Amino acid sequence: MNRVVITGYGIYSCIGKNIDAVKESLYHGKSGIVLDALRKEFGYRSGLTGYLEPPYLKELLDRRSRLMLPEQGEYAYLATLEAIKNANLDQDYIDKHDVGILYGNDSSAKPIIDAIDIIREKKNTMFAGSGSVFQSLNSTVTMNLATIFRLKGVNFTLSAACASGSHAIGLGYHFIKTGLQDCIVCGGAQETNIYSMGNFDALSAFSIREDEPTKASRPFDRDRDGLVPSGGGATVILESLESALKRGAPIYGEVIGYGFSSNGGHISNPTVDGPVKAIHMSLKDANVQANEIDYINAHATSTPVGDASEAQALHTVFGDTNAYISSTKSMTGHECWMAGASEIIYSLIMMRDGFVAPNINFENPDEYSAKLNIADKKIDKKIDVFLSNSFGFGGTNSALVVKKYKD
């Protein structure tokens, strides 16, 4: 079996448009959440969202390529551009090797709605334009990035709700571990346009703490009242250790475990047993004990039921081992299809720079979070091994274990 390492990473999120900017936000506990007046005008119950500056791609991509990209594709493109640069990959190498792509994405709302509005008005499908269909498909990110970067390896999209990005990395890990591929672009992307979260808002799952946007996302806190939607793009380059060493690539971490499960129950209500099963599976795959995990990046989205279930699952697995736990969603909001990938990157930054990012807005524990070692402020700490959890609608669970690379 091949060892699987991370040789590049890149990100475009509400707390920073690149790795360096994101590091500063994580270190200082800076929130990227705002109140969007347009959402309120549109009819949202909650106007809270992570804010991302629209990318400017005119100097980076030709018109035809830009025409094919939806919003989340733009974020993913910029994240991938940074990741490829950090991995010291160039187009000549990519052209000569079967580099693949596995990316998490589970919606593309705006292109679909825009096209239907045009067709309904004009009574003529031709007015939708030639780029519309390529923006509208769930596989829009992989088809666009594979075309732009001329990727010739595995190429498909993972659609698993809020675990999409994590499963993409987990599957990439297995493709490389078993020798099917040497190098894969993996990640997740999430749109943030006004159409993207309307039906999610209809579940009354979003925080309505609109008077204090930066305090609205409060995972594990007793007074949490719902999640804050967000988005962006996050990319990691996975590579076999042999390939990475052969080309002298930088190595930022090693993926050593992937666990998954399905709750097999309610379509939206979480369980304790499902996450426990996925976490146990990831630890077994990584051949590490619970007490060897230095940091846990929790899935915790700031919902009353979800956070309580995860807190119970974490206590079941880790007991009194005292691993530091934080949810970076306290700063970013819930990045949904992107979250499983972005949170690997947030954790890699912490491992690289020796700190645990704070779970901001954690002021009063509830009966379950009181049993956990939650970092309510930035902690300077050496991290050798971390766990990242991602759970999604339909009961899909993913857990990834990553360690600092050693020869």
Closest CA to 334 of 13, 24, 74, 113: 13
Q: Does 162 qualify as catalytic in the annotation?
A: yes
Domain for residue 144, yes or no? yes
Residues 269 and 208 placed together within one structural domain of the fold: no
Q: How many CB atoms lie within 10 A of CB 34?
A: 17
In angstroms, what CA-CA distances link 375 with 42, 167, 348, 372, 382? 37, 26, 17, 9, 14
Buried-state track 141-171, b at ≥16 Cβ within 10 A, e below 16: bbbbbbebbebebbbebbbbbbbbbbbbbbb
Domain for residue 252, yes or no? no
- Which residue among the candidates 167, 186, 315, 334 is catalytic per the annotation? 334
CB-hemisphere CA count at 13 Å for 301?
Answer: 26
Q: Residue 151: what pLDDT?
A: 98
Q: Residue 152: what pLDDT?
A: 98
Residues 355 and 381 placed together within one structural domain of the fold: yes
Phi first, then psi, for residue 211 (nearest 5°) are -75, -15
Domain for residue 167, yes or no? yes
Domain for residue 159, yes or no? yes
Residues 212 and 302 placed together within one structural domain of the fold: no
Residues 103 and 156 placed together within one structural domain of the fold: yes
Compute the distance between CA of residue 346 and CA of residue 365 in angstroms, rounded to an integer: 24
Residues 22 and 150 placed together within one structural domain of the fold: yes
Final residue before a domain boundary, out of 190, 216, 246? 246
Q: State the total domains in the chain.
A: 2
Residues 229 and 121 placed together within one structural domain of the fold: yes
Residues 206 and 304 placed together within one structural domain of the fold: no
Residues 40 and 112 placed together within one structural domain of the fold: yes
238: its two tokens: 């996975």
**What CATH number should be reported for the domain holding residue 305?**
3.40.47.10
| Cα–chain center distance at 32 | 15
- Which residue among the candidates 14, 183, 299, 315 is catalytic per the annotation? 299
Residues 229 and 343 placed together within one structural domain of the fold: no
Q: Does 299 qualify as catalytic in the annotation?
A: yes
- Which residue among the candidates 162, 183, 186, 336 is catalytic per the annotation? 162
Domain for residue 253, yes or no? no
The string of pLDDT tens digits covering residues 277-327 is 999 999 999 999 999 999 999 999 999 999 999 999 999 999 999 899 999
The string of pLDDT tens digits covering residues 60-101 is 999 999 999 999 999 999 999 999 999 999 999 999 999 999
Residues 228 and 265 placed together within one structural domain of the fold: no
Domain for residue 141, yes or no? yes
Closest CA to 382 of 349, 344, 342, 355: 355
Q: Does 167 qualify as catalytic in the annotation?
A: no
Q: Residue 407: what pLDDT?
A: 84
Model confidence pTM above 0.85? yes
Residues 29 and 169 placed together within one structural domain of the fold: yes
Residues 324 and 370 placed together within one structural domain of the fold: yes
Final residue before a domain boundary, out of 200, 224, 246? 246
Final residue before a domain boundary, out of 221, 246, 271? 246
Find out whether 234 and 13 touch, Cβ atoms under 8 Å.
yes
pLDDT < 70 regions, the chain: none
306: its two tokens: 């979800």
Q: Residue 243: what pLDDT?
A: 98
Domain for residue 201, yes or no? yes
Domain for residue 176, yes or no? yes
Rounded to the nearest 5 degrees, what angle is found at the Cα of 173, between the Cα atoms of 392 and 291?
75
- Identify the domain containing residue 325 by its residue range: 258-403
